[in-house]
Structure 1
Amino acid sequence: MGERAAVVWPGADAWSVEPVELAPPRAGEVLVRIEAAGLCHSDAHLLTGGYAGLRRPMVGGHEGAGVVEAVGPGVTLVGEGDHVVFAFMPSCGTCPDCTAGRQHLCVLGAGVAQGFAVSDGTPRRRARDTDLGSFCFVGSFATRTVVHERSVVRCDPALPLDEVCLLGCAGITGWGAAVNTAGVGVGDTTVVVGVGGIGAMALLGARYAGAGQVWAVDPVGSKRDAATDLGADGAAASTAGLAAVLRDETRGRMADQVILCAGTGDGAAMAEAMALLGKQGRAVVVNVHDDAEREVRMSLRDLQSYEKQVRGCLAGSWSPRHGLSTLLDLYGRGRIPLEKLVTARYPLEKIHDGVADQEAGRNVRGVLLPAA
């Protein structure tokens, strides 16, 4: 099948939108026509040379939604015509991590470096007589893709795909970071650093979990405005700028959680983030750091004396299928205002505009419309 996709080639610094050969689905796989794909900073890291262990060439995109057009032998989870959202971390259900309730850390994730099919480790895409990987086994920056049935979750066809596509990454990662990894509780004070798609969902998740105060940090004024529109009690341009306000608002107790969702992590900024935490406060690192970064600045005495904590977060520390099903239900009930998060839409051929807007901070979340 002849399709089009945005590919990152070795040594390139821009997406190449070009014809791509796509093999039909094999056993356990489905063919999906992609209607919408979110522009996440993880894709930007792939483009700019991050994730050094991942193969190039690679079709970008791991957040998306579409319609199943064909199924391979043995598929039982979805059928032709179903509307689906991609789960960027499939789970086998039988490995030690899955059986221990850590489906987001499934052993299938080991294959993400090549981006070949989960079922047999072989490619489903080719271009320029070369095998292509699919980012996170999805590769949603394309008109169509072939993925394992465990990489999709069925959704109500009445839900707009250009909004629910966000739930596959921004949704489960941001909301899960607040509810699962950070453990936001009723009456807590939560700070979210970075108001992109993931940060916005973390803010909404914290508010839904019952946080008494939710504060946002972002250097971009329009994103600070978006945060207050989504229910934040206030927003600051920097963590240092929030410290005095937070001390006053909490009568010196400071934050219970600081959720770090910036586009790119910075170990040098950890000290200011940790300073926002009170006793037994928890910092959750969601943002991606450079592969070579090894130094983190913080007060270890402060960490010890006040029993502060630092935790990493992948996919919201959540079962992808359970997380997506939960958020799809909440969105369908009008509990998640995804329409406020999608700030721009682009055809696949205009992906460069979307990347530029993302880097300039003009979007909370930009969405590609490959089928347009």
Structure 2
Amino acid sequence: MTKGRATVLIEPNRLETWQVPVADPQPGGVLVQIVLGGVCGSDAHIASGGVGRMPFPIILGHEGIGRIEKLGAGVTTDYASVPVKVGDLISWSPIALCHRCYSCTVLDETPCENSQFFEHADRPNWASYSDFATLPPGMAFYRLPSHANPEAVAALGCALPTVLRGFDQCGPVGRGDTVVIQGAGPVGLAATVVAAISGAHEIIVIDRVQRRLDAARSLGATATISMTGTTSEDRVAQVWDRVGPQGPSVVVEAAGALPAFPEGVNLTGHHGRYIVLGLWGEIGTQPISPRDLTIKNMQIAGATFPKPKHYYGAVHLATRLQDRYPLAQLITHRFSVEDAPKALQALGSDTVIKAVIDPTL
């Protein structure tokens, strides 16, 4: 039986490269050869144990672009009714939904009561830190348009679906909005480009790394603020001085750091919205003044776990924007499957914008 490499998390902070069997797909499933596996900040939280115990051992990686190797019986199209064949590039929604619970059939929400995020490393697996992935029946996947640059699609990984989910859940950015984005990692950069194409009047991005702030400028930010040498009070004052006495109409938390939350509340303007997207992996609390919410008449909302339609939307949006914005150039680092631990360590580096696992290395 054919075998392929996979990065397996045995326990917190213990990663190994395994040779795992490559199984034929079930009826309704798909076998793909991984082309690019995105390295996400949440992978680092999972690997460190910071978000709780996982069903070890698991293969890491929930962002993937793969080339179809085999189609399971009955599979002739993707989940948008687009015909597919061996050799096509696809991307998939990495949450295995049950399609027969209240969340799935009544609320149309993800995740569902029976969602499966990981499969045991010994079993056919849809994770992307690997040579091959086997998508089970019912896992939505979408063919990349023939002219799509897979690097442009991979550059914003799950960040772009997350942002689309966030604006869908918490209200969109409209023409004339003033937007502040806390953090210029992939989620913040995705929020930047979506705000730009939505017609936002101002897009102000805050980060501590100049390279990321430069990337935000290339994606449509109208101003940037460095955290280096500024206090939270300084940043709030700079933002309000720029946008005027009403303050920002939309603030997006994409920093993934707990102190960003109270700062975001202070940044948000009168009648504004604070959308929390990046704090999935940070467990803890931060103090805020509830009175500020009422005085400003502001809303706070959060979102995570994009729906399949958001992955579909991200594939086509990235393809449409790939020549207008330097999306592919956001990929700054590539690692082999064996070097996945180095990829996770690199996420903390000031030089990384987006890292990927490239099985050809």
CA distance change for structure 1 residues 247 and 331 in 2, over 3 Å: closer, same or farther?
closer
Partner of 2:211: 222
Q: Alignment partner of 1:164: what SS?
A: helix
Once the two structures are superposed, residues 223-257 of structure 1 have per-residue CA deviations (whole angstroms, 9 ceiling, x without a partner) of 12221222212112335432112111122211111
Partner of 2:166: 177
Equivalent residue runs for 1:126-165 within 5 Å: 126=122, 134=125, 138-148=126-136, 150-165=139-154
Once the two structures are superposed, residues 134-177 of structure 1 have per-residue CA deviations (whole angstroms, 9 ceiling, x without a partner) of 5xxx3100000101353321112432323322455122113443
Residue 280 in 1 paired to residue 271 in 2? yes
CA distance change for structure 1 residues 371 and 86 in 2, over 3 Å: closer, same or farther?
farther
CA distance change for structure 1 residues 92 and 186 in 2, over 3 Å: closer, same or farther?
farther
**Where in structure 2 are there 5+ consecutive unaligned residues?**
79-83
Partner of 2:234: 241
**Partners of 1:5 and 1:141 within 8 A in 2:** yes
RMSD: 2.6
Q: Number of residues paired by the alignment?
A: 349
Q: Distance in 1 between matches of 2:324 and 2:104?
A: 29
Aligned partner of 1:45: which letter? H
Q: Distance in 1 between matches of 2:106 and 2:174?
A: 24
Q: CA offset at residue 371 of structure 1?
A: 3.2
Partner of 1:324: 314
Identity of aligned residues (%): 27
Partner of 1:8: 9
TM-score, normalised with respect to structure 2: 0.87
Q: Distance in 2 between matches of 1:367 and 1:248?
A: 39
Aligned partner of 2:317: which letter? L
**Where in structure 1 are there 5+ consecutive unaligned residues?**
117-122
CA distance change for structure 1 residues 269 and 196 in 2, over 3 Å: closer, same or farther?
closer
Partner of 1:79: 85
Q: CA offset at residue 287 of structure 1?
A: 1.3
Partner of 2:34: 34
Q: Alignment partner of 2:338: what SS?
A: helix
Q: CA offset at residue 369 of structure 1?
A: 0.7
Q: CA offset at residue 60 of structure 1?
A: 0.5
**Partners of 2:280 and 2:304 within 8 A in 1:** no
Partner of 1:257: 250
Q: Alignment partner of 1:278: what SS?
A: coil
Q: Distance in 1 between matches of 2:27 and 2:51?
A: 30
Q: Which has the higher helix share?
A: 1
> Which region of structure 1 is more displaced relative to structure 2, 176-185 or 356-365?
176-185
**Partners of 1:102 and 1:319 within 8 A in 2:** no
